[in-house]
Structure 1
């Protein structure tokens, strides 16, 4: 018997995937939401709130740490803990292109799927980017999977036909405990590759290059550009070429040129979406790493009301301190926002948003920003995970937009000014 541990986007996707195959499973969630439980029940699955088991396999959602006491107990009773990517690989024959890295994986995933579709291949993206991988793998000719370290730490036999390793930086130290453990999870992408597979990798990152040189897969190195978007496109072009090579098909240059004119933009990445008078509202909810937030603080019109906080991942605040002269006020939300804001040091006003509920917190943050600004920008660049107050970064972004419109913001894009 199988247990699906954790509902939400991933767990419900897994249940739908199992139902399509007529496979039985129970489900469990540490903090069950009524709507999600009802959907699981409607799919024909039953809960096991006591974790009575026994279970041979436990499909754990990415948000559930591998060292969770319940998972430890289930392992001790003989269960193998795996994730959505492993399940998709085991139960579907669709080839997978797996993409990971500390930065750039969402854009690279979207670009790769887009370029392959331009070559006449039914490529569908999923995984860490919507929708779940299990929701697209059966419909695709090739599935292009964005894979986080949380997903990769729970794979066993998973073997992508094309692996893409973009970079190895610093992230999620709160979850993995050390940089070595975080990098080890990322490098799981490569562990089952064979000479029949392809490996696209960043030749300028020494840790990536060392791992690639030890892999038996066919190498497709790329040299990153100074512009991150261009780097991600370089990786996507190499991934596209690598998959076509596996198929024995030539690259259609004319189709490629057309695809390059219509590249998709990742959602909630430094999007100016509204304004009120001379104040611009910028949604960068996906910015949870220091480098991304630094780029946002440099690019947003000053003075900035900066919405910061959530669940701290162990972010390095030092590189952000030189940018604080551009900031009028820090609006600290969520579990760790006030502590993170205080750690930035003096010289900038900090308002601790005490509302615990996420949407109420963002309404208060936007109101506090508008009370202090007559020009400039209100920037949501949280430098932290969203799970203390929201379902995910997309839910956080939607709540921010709702708050802005409720307080008088009007839809706007830079091109419309």
Structure 2
């Protein structure tokens, strides 16, 4: 019997994956939502709210730390804890391209799937992005999976046909405890590779290069471009070549040229989506790392009302301080927003938005920004994870957009 621990996007995807295979399971969630429980029940599964069953395997959602007391107790009782990537690998014959790194995962995943589609392959993206990997593998010829450190810390036999390692920077120190542990989780992507698989890697990242040099896989280095988008595209091109090589197929240059003219744009990455008078609204909900937030603060029209906060991941605030003269007000939301804003030191005024409900918090933040700005921008670049108040960064982005339009924002177009 399997226990699916944690519902949400990942857990419900796992339950549907198990239902298609007529495999028995029960489910549990620390903070069950009525709609999600109803969906799990409709799939034919029963809950185990007391965690009283005996389980051979526990498929834990990536948002649940491995140190969670319940998971510790289940392991001590003999359960094997794994994640959706391991489950998909074990139970589906579909080849998987696995993509990880501190930055650029989503863009590289979307680009790779798009380029493979252009070469005539049925390729679908999934994993850490929407939809879950388990929702993709049964629908496609090859699955292109964005894999976070949270997902990779719970793999065992997982072995992608092509592994893509983009970079190893600083992130999620709150979850992993140290930079070494975070990097080790990322490197789990490589641990089972053989000479039958391919490894695409960043030849200019010393940590990545060191890991690649010890791998038995077929090596496909890439050189980063001048911008993140160019870097991610270089990685996607090499991933496409690597997979075609494994299939014994030649790359079609004309099809590639056409694909490059229609590359997808990842959502919620510094998107100007609305305006009200001379104030524009920018959705950069994915910006949870210092370099991404710094880029957003440099690019947003000043003066900026900066919406900051959520679950602090241990981000370094020092590189942001020189950019604070562009910020008129910091609107601190979520569990750690107030503490993070105070840690910025002297600078713009800080307004603490104390609403516990995330949607109400963003509505209050937008209203406060509009009271203070006659021109400039309202920037959601939270520098923090979303799980304290939202399902994920996409839910946070949607709540921000809803708040903006509810308070009179009008859709923005390049000509507006």
TM-score by length of 2: 0.99
**2:70 alignment partner in structure 1:** 70
- How does 1:4-403 map onto structure 2 within 5 Å? 4-403=4-403
Q: How much has 1:267 moved relative to structure 2? A: 0.4
Aligned structure 1 segments of 4 or more residues deviating by more than 4 angstroms = none
Secondary structure at the residue paired with 2:26?
strand
| CA distance in structure 2 between the partners assigned to 1:77 and 1:200 by the alignment | 39
The Cα offsets for residues 233-266 of structure 1, whole Å up to 9 and x where unpaired, read as 0000000000000000000000000000000011
Report whether the alignment pairs 1:416 with 2:382: no
| CA distance in structure 1 between the partners assigned to 2:196 and 2:373 by the alignment | 58
| CA distance in structure 2 between the partners assigned to 1:354 and 1:40 by the alignment | 33
The Cα offsets for residues 108-153 of structure 1, whole Å up to 9 and x where unpaired, read as 0000000000000000000001100000101111000000000000
Q: How much has 1:202 moved relative to structure 2? A: 0.2
Secondary structure at the residue paired with 1:371?
helix
Q: How much has 1:51 moved relative to structure 2? A: 1.0
Secondary structure at the residue paired with 1:219?
strand
Q: How much has 1:155 moved relative to structure 2? A: 0.2
Secondary structure at the residue paired with 1:189?
coil
Q: How many residues align?
A: 416
Q: How much has 1:412 moved relative to structure 2? A: 0.5
Q: How much has 1:286 moved relative to structure 2? A: 0.5
What value does the CA root-mean-square deviation take over the aligned residues? Answer: 0.5
Q: How much has 1:225 moved relative to structure 2? A: 1.3
The Cα offsets for residues 7-56 of structure 1, whole Å up to 9 and x where unpaired, read as 00000000000000000001011111111111111110011111112111
Q: How much has 1:226 moved relative to structure 2? A: 1.9
Secondary structure at the residue paired with 1:262?
coil
| CA distance in structure 2 between the partners assigned to 1:290 and 1:73 by the alignment | 35
Q: How much has 1:100 moved relative to structure 2? A: 0.1
Secondary structure at the residue paired with 1:36?
helix
| CA distance in structure 2 between the partners assigned to 1:34 and 1:317 by the alignment | 38
| CA distance in structure 2 between the partners assigned to 1:337 and 1:94 by the alignment | 42
| CA distance in structure 1 between the partners assigned to 2:229 and 2:150 by the alignment | 24
The Cα offsets for residues 201-243 of structure 1, whole Å up to 9 and x where unpaired, read as 0000000000000000000000111200000000000000000
| CA distance in structure 1 between the partners assigned to 2:30 and 2:173 by the alignment | 23
| CA distance in structure 1 between the partners assigned to 2:95 and 2:78 by the alignment | 30
TM-score by length of 1: 0.99
| CA distance in structure 2 between the partners assigned to 1:94 and 1:249 by the alignment | 18
| CA distance in structure 2 between the partners assigned to 1:327 and 1:235 by the alignment | 35
Gaps of 5+ in 2: none
Gaps of 5+ in 1: none
Q: How much has 1:347 moved relative to structure 2? A: 2.0
| CA distance in structure 2 between the partners assigned to 1:96 and 1:390 by the alignment | 29
| CA distance in structure 1 between the partners assigned to 2:401 and 2:37 by the alignment | 28
| CA distance in structure 1 between the partners assigned to 2:359 and 2:18 by the alignment | 34
The Cα offsets for residues 302-326 of structure 1, whole Å up to 9 and x where unpaired, read as 0000000000000100000000000
| CA distance in structure 2 between the partners assigned to 1:226 and 1:312 by the alignment | 29
Q: How much has 1:416 moved relative to structure 2? A: 2.3
The Cα offsets for residues 328-357 of structure 1, whole Å up to 9 and x where unpaired, read as 000000110011001001121100001111
| CA distance in structure 1 between the partners assigned to 2:153 and 2:393 by the alignment | 21
| CA distance in structure 1 between the partners assigned to 2:191 and 2:247 by the alignment | 22
